[in-house]
Structure 1
Amino acid sequence: MTSTDVRPPADAERTPPRTSTWSALKPLVLRLHFYAGVLVAPFLLVAAATGLLYAASFQLERIVHAHELTVPAGQQRVPLAQQIAAAQAARPTGTITAVRIPAEADASTRVLMNVPGLPESTQLAVFVDPYTAQVRGTLESYGGSGALPVRAWISQLHRHLHLGEPGRLYSELAASWLWVVALGGLVLWVTRRRSKRRVRALLAPDRSLPASPRRLSWHGSIGLWAVLGLLFLSATGLTWSKYAGENVGDVRVALGWTTPKISAASGDHAAHAGAGGHRHGGTVSADELVRAAAGKGLSGPLEIVWPAKEGAPFVVKEIDKTVPQRLDQVAVDGTSGQVTAELRFADFNLAAKLTQWGIDGHMGLLFGLANQLVLMLLAAGVITLVILGYRMWWKRRPTRGFGRPYARGGWRGVRWAVLAPLALVVAGIGWFLPVMGFSLAAFLVVDVLLGLRARARPPVG
């Protein structure tokens, strides 16, 4: 057998010839998309499945906790102070922190309390019939959204799989890589279809193709339709993450993009009781607080927040997060009943508004049920993309004789004028998104080790 008959191993690294920038970058993008898809896809699959469940949890919460949340609509509501007193009598050891006043005629009033023994970020919610002042039940309420037990459990499942802080790494890993996989797939799909001059095939799968290319057609088309939503979920999800979220917060502070807060200034005569509660407050009743807020144009649903320290005012704020949003706030002196400060959502800077809209959209609140349905479709799309991706890989896995998916060393064909700034950008992203940076470094180490092992194998002759 002559030397020309000896084939190099499939994984042997070869320096590709210099060619156009995209032709040189494409193998690199293909390899990144493939390995990110294979290795990160399990985390994306879990995040999508739990996210789909969370999007449905709002409707599930209404069903499971219907007795506490709803009441028979009556003709006349009793004073709010009487409702608060009933809640306090039901839980005399609780310290009132806030009261949520519904706008719907058949909804209960929610009195929130701090009670010893509850988990972090959790309060006790006492539900009161606004027409009879009868307590309909008590439930734990989690976070600023007031998630009740069923939704809170699903929320924690989506956030950290009930594993605590270590579990948050899974969701941060998924959010960190989701935009990379989505954009990489978009570029590959668009350039592939453009080269074939089949624009229609960008948007719809070609069902006339054989099985293998048909799966790719479905994978690419679904990814194209979902890409904007996936980028949105990735960006907003990172704001909740532990490490990347801290960096995002630092950037917002540095650029002055933080969400404004209402002034805590108040009159000098604030007392320490009243408004139907037993926390630092004033002599005015809760009903007077609502009337003071109404005088400034605020309307239900409302939340009255009890002052956290002596001398501070009550804060009455709108909590309607569906479009058109009503999120104005006023501070009301607890003794005089006068509004001492106002904060209008219309006056928020653009970054603060985008942050609010992004959070509410990610949670399924911004457009109500329509928002939740879109999130369910996106989650189902991710699940489908992952399954199709694994299916394509399994059908063309190396053990079936198809060889390695994408050759190593593709980066060597990229001009240094492109490669150097690209490497700097990747390093910067890895620093800003540390979970992604560490995982990418781990991928590269494993890839190098596999390449060294392949080179050490004797040639097949």
Structure 2
Amino acid sequence: THGDALNDGKTKEVPWVLELTPMPQSGSTLGDNGINPSEPMTLETVDRFAREIGFAGRYQLNFPQGETGVWTLTQDSMSYDANSPFIDRTVHIDQYSGKILADIRYDDYNAFGKFMAVSIALHMGTLGWWSVLANAVFCLAVIGICISGLVMWWKRRPSKVFVLAPPPKQPVWWTMAIPLLIIAALFPTALAAIVAIYLLDFLLVSRSQTLAKWFK
């Protein structure tokens, strides 16, 4: 797969949507016209061809691995080659014939792949100063929520008491289940965290008077 062949150890450089996609193989008659087969397939030849087909600035060039390996040219925001995920591009070249076996761009991603490409770029702040500012504001907001929550708890507690009385019972807010289900579908680890917290509350906290006194 792309992930096995192109990711370097723990470093994730392959676009998320391509990680499990099988790599093409050299040695067939497939492919579109690429490098002139009369030219030697050297690093300089492949680099020159990359520039000719539109790879400007920084990009990644991967050598063929084994007899069926391919030359791979990649340029994407996940590797910090470019600021925008919309110019993501991965090109595979047959090491023998010089033909282009695959030319994958952002427009070729499926809907979820496009969503992840943009989300990762937003998360890493590579879309410009405004995305860095948005990340900073979000982080400060989380810190503010933590601090303000502690302040509100401190003001609400009775004097010389460090544990609040349990709030009156209220109906379950089932509407909140909808965004939770969406998050769980998109991020399985979030689902695991939700289930773990529920089990912790049901099996441990609710059965211990001491813990219930502190957490309920």
Preserved CA contact (<8 Å) 2:58 2:82: no
Tell me the number of residue pairs that the alignment of Structure 1 and Structure 2 aligns. 188
Preserved CA contact (<8 Å) 1:263 1:341: no
- Counterpart of 2:102 in structure 1 is 341
Q: Which is helix-richer, 1 or 2?
A: 1
Query: How many Å apart are 1:144 and its aligned residue?
Result: 3.0
1:144 equivalent in alignment to 2:144: no
Preserved CA contact (<8 Å) 1:299 1:318: no
- Counterpart of 1:312 in structure 2 is 69
- Counterpart of 2:196 in structure 1 is 438
Closer, same or farther: CA 429–448 of 1 in aligned 2, 3 Å: farther
Q: 1:154-193: CA deviations, max 9, x gaps?
A: xxxxxxxxxxxxxxxxxxxxxxxxxxxxxxxxxxxxxxxx
Preserved CA contact (<8 Å) 2:206 2:212: no
| Secondary structure at 2:87 match in 1 | coil
* Separation in 2, partners of 1:345, 1:424: 30
1:357 equivalent in alignment to 2:118: yes
Coordinate RMSD, CA, aligned:
4.2
Query: How many Å apart are 1:391 and its aligned residue?
Result: 0.9
Q: Flag structure 2 segments of 5+ consecutive residues without an equivalent.
A: 30-39
| Secondary structure at 1:410 match in 2 | coil
Query: How many Å apart are 1:449 and its aligned residue?
Result: 3.7
Identity across aligned pairs (percent)?
23
1:383 equivalent in alignment to 2:118: no
* Separation in 2, partners of 1:347, 1:392: 49
5 Å-filtered alignment, 1:125-140, equals none
* Separation in 1, partners of 2:212, 2:87: 61
TM-score normalised according to structure 2 size = 0.66
Greater relative contact order: 1 or 2 (C-alpha under 8 angstroms, separation 6 or more)?
A: 1
| Secondary structure at 2:86 match in 1 | coil
* Separation in 1, partners of 2:98, 2:12: 26
* Separation in 1, partners of 2:72, 2:181: 45
5 Å-filtered alignment, 1:12-411, equals 120-121=9-10, 143-144=11-12, 258-259=17-18, 261=21, 263-267=23-27, 284-319=41-76, 320-323=81-84, 325-365=86-126, 367-400=127-160, 404=165, 406-407=167-168, 409-411=169-171
Q: Flag structure 1 segments of 5+ consecutive residues without an equivalent.
A: 1-96, 99-111, 115-119, 122-142, 147-248, 250-257, 270-282, 455-461
TM-score normalised according to structure 1 size = 0.34
Please tell me the residue identity of whatever aligns with 1:267. Answer: G
Query: How many Å apart are 1:405 and its aligned residue?
Result: 5.2
Q: 1:247-277: CA deviations, max 9, x gaps?
A: xx9xxxxxxxx548475132359xxxxxxxx
Q: Which has the larger radius of gyration?
A: 1
Please tell me the residue identity of whatever aligns with 1:364. Answer: G
- Counterpart of 2:33 in structure 1 is none
